[in-house]
Structure 1
Amino acid sequence: MMLIMIFCMMINIILVTLITMITFIFKKKKMKLNKMSPFECGFNSMTSKRMPFSIHFFSICMLFLIFDIEVIIIMPLIMSMKFSVMKYWLTTSILLIIILILGLYHEWKNGMLKWTK
């Protein structure tokens, strides 16, 4: 019984020592205002809060979401190729690619791919 208590105390001492060493090693030395401020996507936190929203940031965000969802749709399509009927799989994949190309053409035509105006 005494041996178990000594073992538990040794483990506790080792754990406390490790935790204090980790806090001293990884503690931030300087607290800067920019690092302490919350990060808002597309906004500078040091400026006025009533500034208009940047449509450029919104268009980049929408393009990212569209192409992200495109990858989510195409990956299972590729994985299911060997388990499906090739005629239906080919029809579905060609239709999906045509829809994506038409969407890209529409964005190009409306000037959403011009990053600077």
Structure 2
Amino acid sequence: MKMMFYLSLMIITILLLLSLIVNLISKKTFYDREKNSAFECGFDPMTTTRLPFSLHFFLIAIIFLIFDVEITLLLPLIFTLKISNMANYCLILIFFISILLLGIYHEWNQGALNWTK
């Protein structure tokens, strides 16, 4: 039993060393600045980190996320159409869409949707 344990331990060690050697020999390394750098949303990570960030892009992205979440809240209303009361369904739907329209009107009045300022 002891002999079997030592034999399996030796085989595992040889296989690990062999895989390490094969990995080091066959590894293709390219020392390219672009390929070794991380991709950070179009920013060059090798330059200074104090580049100005477009606030308009950030606001449009936040508005998109808000309305994307609102669409995921609207989709289950389609499936509950058959099992719900039509008056309550219409009331909830009108209330929900009016909140969305008031929100987009407010963003429009504040100038958040104007790309050039």
TM-score by length of 2: 0.65
What is the aligned partner in structure 1 of residue 67 from structure 2?
A: 67
Structure 2: which amino acid aligns with 1:63? I
More displaced 10-residue stretch of structure 1: 56-65 or 31-40: 31-40
Q: Distance in 2 between matches of 1:52 and 1:84?
A: 51
1:69/1:100 Cα in 2 relative to 1: closer, same or farther (>3 Å)?
A: same
- Greater relative contact order structure (CA < 8 Å, 6+ sep): 2
What is the aligned partner in structure 1 of residue 112 from structure 2?
A: 112
Q: Distance in 1 between matches of 2:42 and 2:114?
A: 18
Q: How many pairs are equivalent?
A: 92
What is the aligned partner in structure 1 of residue 37 from structure 2?
A: 37
What is the aligned partner in structure 2 of residue 77 from structure 1?
A: 77
Computed over aligned residues only, the root mean square deviation of the Cα atoms, in angstroms, reads: 2.6
TM-score by length of 1: 0.65
Regions of 4+ moved over 4 Å:
none
Structure 1: which amino acid aligns with 2:72? I
1:108/1:39 Cα in 2 relative to 1: closer, same or farther (>3 Å)?
A: same
Rg (Cα) greater in structure: 2
